[in-house]
Amino acid sequence: MAAVAATPPSRPHSRPFRRALPLRLVRDIPLPGRATRFDYESFDSHTGLLFISHLGDSEVLRFNTRTQRLQGAVAGVSHVHGVLAVPALGRVYASATGFNQVFAINERSLRVLARIPGGVYPDGMAYVPARHRLFVSDELGGTDTVIETRSERRVATIRLGGQAGNSQYDPGSGRVYVDVQTENRLKAINPMTDRIVASYPLPGCQHDHGLLIDSPARLAFVACDHNARLLTFDLRTHRVLAIHRLGGYPDVLKFDSGLQRLYVAAESGVVSVFALRGRQLHLLGRAHLAYEAHSVAVDSQHRVYFPLQNIDGHPLLRIMRPVAR
């Protein structure tokens, strides 16, 4: 998520969005707490648990997608931004920028197991299973913080040369990719050495913040939040293949690998939905969903989850289901 301390340019003017979303409402579920900002979500396909960061209330919420019920929360995770469930460890990690720490939390008991230094402004995270390491984007610090998950200790700090956007692991190459948003570049880290091994320009992108990797297709999708563009980046040739328009200030991306659908949620409340056919994206729909609908998650049943901070003065979780198009 974009750091609140950053000062972006004025929001780009957007033409009216006329293509309805290929989604239908399943239900709205009230969430506890105040009508304050949400941030990342992370789904554990092993347990069916969805973890949601309620940034404004400094809580990590646990929602059971199988029973469709909220099942507890972890309080005191100050200004929680990122959440990442790691099924192999039975843990969820949360970046608490109020403490500049990463919390390691037991998924089932919700007990905090450790609090690890995360840099200046820890945000998004990626896990490398072969190395048992967590790579944390320290946005304002301009680094990736490396945490060894067996000891829950910080073991390295990788300087990126600019502000860190999201970090994602690509099992196909064994590399961690990170957006360096103030350079408009995508950089590759070798997790065996904790060193940057490549740096790729992103022409057509202003401030690459959101990132998602489709490893089987050898593609990366990059959301550029200062000019509202989505780049399709070829991980084989390391070139930009296509550029698509998005809603203002795109943020979180999620991919439904079963349906081959990409969801991009934006700070403007505009959600864009694409179908991946071969190695090309095709727009299925783009429309305003709700105020600050900038986070999205997908479960194993293809249901799509949007935590919404203020609907008639209250927060809620909007659950939707895809329709054919």
Residue 129 φ then ψ, to 5°: -65, -40
Give 98's DSSP letter. T
Amino acid at 219: L
Residue 19 has a pLDDT of 77
Alpha helix segments (H runs only) across 88-237 = none
Q: Which residues contact 253 (CB under 8 A, 6 or more apart)?
A: 210, 211, 212, 221, 223, 262, 263, 264, 265, 296
**CB distance 133 to 146 below 8 Å:** yes
The domain segmentation of the chain, as residue ranges, is 35-296
Label residue 1 by pLDDT band (50, 70, 90): low
Q: What percent of the chain has pLDDT over 90?
A: 94
Label residue 104 by pLDDT band (50, 70, 90): very high
The pLDDT of 264-282, averaged and rounded, is 97
Report whether pLDDT(11) > 70. no
Q: Are strands 250-256 and 270-277 parallel, antiparallel or unpaired?
A: unpaired
Q: Give, rounded to a whole angstrom, the gap between the first and last alpha carbons of the chain.
A: 30
CA proximity to 191, closest of 208, 210, 178, 209? 178
Label residue 13 by pLDDT band (50, 70, 90): very low
Q: Which residues contact 57 (CB under 8 A, 6 or more apart)?
A: 33, 34, 36
What confidence tens digit (pLDDT) does each residue in 235-263 have? 999 999 999 999 999 999 999 999 999 99
Report whether pLDDT(213) > 80. yes
Report whether pLDDT(2) > 60. no
Report whether pLDDT(14) > 80. no
Residue 238, Ramachandran bin (φ over 0: left; ψ between -120 and 50: alpha; else beta): left
What confidence tens digit (pLDDT) does each residue in 32-46 have? 999 999 999 999 999
CA proximity to 96, closest of 61, 134, 122, 127? 122
**CB distance 274 to 18 below 8 Å:** no
Residue 325 has a pLDDT of 79
Amino acid at 273: V
Q: Which residues is 242 bridged to in the sheet?
A: 232
Instruction: Tell me the whole-structure pTM to 2 decimals.
Output: 0.94
Quick check: helix, strand or coil at residue 175?
Answer: strand
Report whether pLDDT(66) > 80. yes
Label residue 18 by pLDDT band (50, 70, 90): low
Q: Quick one: fold of 35-296?
A: Methylamine Dehydrogenase; Chain H (2.130.10)
Give 9's DSSP letter. P
Report whether pLDDT(69) > 70. yes
**CB distance 222 to 263 below 8 Å:** no
The pLDDT of 73-97, averaged and rounded, is 98
Quick check: helix, strand or coil at residue 250?
Answer: strand
Q: What percent of the chain has pLDDT over 70?
A: 94
Q: Which region among 2-6, 186-190, 227-231 has the lowest average model confidence (pLDDT)?
A: 2-6
The mean pLDDT of the chain is 94
